[in-house]
Amino acid sequence: MKRFVVFIIVLLGMVSWGCTKYETETTDLKDSLERNVSDINSALSYISTTSGYQMLSAGSSAYKCEEDLDSSDSISLEDIAGIYDFKPDLVHYLMFFIPYRLFEKTGESELMVVNMPHKLVFHPDYLHNINPFDTLLENNFTISASDYHCYYSLDNKFDYKLKADFTLDAVDIGSIDVTTGANPESGFSYSSEYAFDENFKISVGFLSGDSTVSSFTLKQDDEILMRETMTRVWRDSDEKEVSYVLTIGNIDLVRETGSEGIMVYLDGVLQENAGVVIEDTTYYGVSILYERDILLTFDDGTTAELGEMLKPAKKALTIIVDSLHSMNFATYVVNYIAACIYFHC
């Protein structure tokens, strides 16, 4: 319960119901919502055209860091630091479950710098099933990891860190920052963020323990365009939602256990006459990105469905959020490369 109390304190700071959130003069709730949703849709329209989006939305093969480690083992940045070029040797390998020798060390570095064909990153199945006769692969994609650690043991302890930049044809296409950990005492937690062009960032977070907290955030620079945070606790052998906060620009929609209805704040000011209805079609889809919709009623009697307004952004945003929650790129690409280097170079 201590962790839940701490989270609520942090959450109140996160939503920041103060007048400093936006420097622009506020009009009314309806105009602000339309402007903020337009910003979100425009942001995802741009992000969905980037190489970073293409990379995160790629498919993945069944591979995890721990599958190539002993019952209690680790790979750290010191173990794999250096400059490596893709140069596969598909004959020599240590054991059946060890990745093939795909890289050759070509230089020294305090980072893990990997030069490889972009095809293997944007289509990870090719990375896991190398075609030895494909001679047209150019090492035009670079991963530069400045932080990496993967620790795993069979007693349910896990600790992982990845911080890396990416370039395609020598052009910066973004960076990723992942931290996750688990042990029987403190539970499981992770945070994952990808920084795109134009200073757009999408991040996710998860924390399990006395309570379960799940969130995602879309930002440009330090301005929050959209954030959703859900908190659940176990009561009477069932998981109950005790807090839901959705931020759309300078608008906060807040539902707390014990409060009367759903509160709407515009620049930190409670909108007494705003009507809000949350509609869930399934229990497990209680997110605005999935099966949750929110109906707002404004002072003039008109209404707006957030799910419909955000429809242009939802598909791309859902793909990125799902990818960051599952940590597909870190798991199926970077970890596989790290294991290749660790066991062969």
Tell me the pLDDT tens digit for each residue of 153-192.
767 678 999 999 999 999 999 999 999 988 767 778 999 9
Q: Give pLDDT tens digits for 256-287.
A: 876 667 899 999 999 988 989 888 877 666 89
Question: The domain containing residue 27 runs over which residues?
Answer: 2-344
What whole-number distance in Å separates Cα of residue 162 and Cα of residue 329? 11
Q: For 192-201, which contacts have Cβ atoms below 8 Å and span 24 or more sequence positions?
A: 192/324, 192/325, 192/327, 192/330, 193/324, 194/52, 194/56, 194/320, 194/324, 196/47, 196/50, 196/52, 196/53, 197/46, 197/50, 197/52, 197/173, 198/46, 200/43, 200/46, 200/47
Local confidence pLDDT in tens for the 345 residues of the chain: 444 434 443 344 444 434 334 444 457 999 999 999 999 999 999 999 999 999 998 864 434 444 444 444 789 999 999 999 999 886 655 454 556 788 999 999 999 999 999 999 998 888 888 876 776 789 999 999 999 999 877 676 789 999 999 999 999 999 999 999 887 677 789 999 999 999 999 999 999 877 899 999 999 999 999 999 999 887 766 778 889 999 999 999 999 876 667 899 999 999 988 989 888 877 666 899 988 999 999 988 899 999 999 999 999 999 999 999 988 888 889 998 998 899 887
Instruction: Give the bridge partners for 157, in sequence order.
Output: 153
b/e sequence 212-238, b meaning 16+ C-beta within 10 Å = bbbbbbbbeeeebbbbbbbbbbeeeee
Number of domains making up the chain = 1
> Residue 67 carries which DSSP code?
G
For 185, residues 6+ apart whose C-beta sits below 8 A from its C-beta are: none
What whole-number distance in Å separates Cα of residue 255 and Cα of residue 64? 37
Strands 112-116 and 82-89: parallel
Extract the tokens encoding 124.
């990870």
What whole-number distance in Å separates Cα of residue 26 and Cα of residue 221? 20
Helix (H, G, I), strand (E, B) or coil at 327: coil
Q: What share of the chain is helix, strand, coil (3-state, %, to 5)?
A: 30, 40, 30
For 310, residues 6+ apart whose C-beta sits below 8 A from its C-beta are: 37, 40, 41, 288
What whole-number distance in Å separates Cα of residue 282 and Cα of residue 171? 43
Neighbours of 155 (CB within 10 A): 9
Instruction: Give the bridge partners for 269, in sequence order.
Output: 266
Extract the tokens encoding 208.
């399990």
Extract the tokens encoding 176.
């990723």
Residue with tokens 């930049």: 165
Extract the tokens encoding 284.
């497990």
Pick left, alpha or beta for residue 34 (phi over 0 → left; psi -120 to 50 → alpha; otherwise beta): alpha
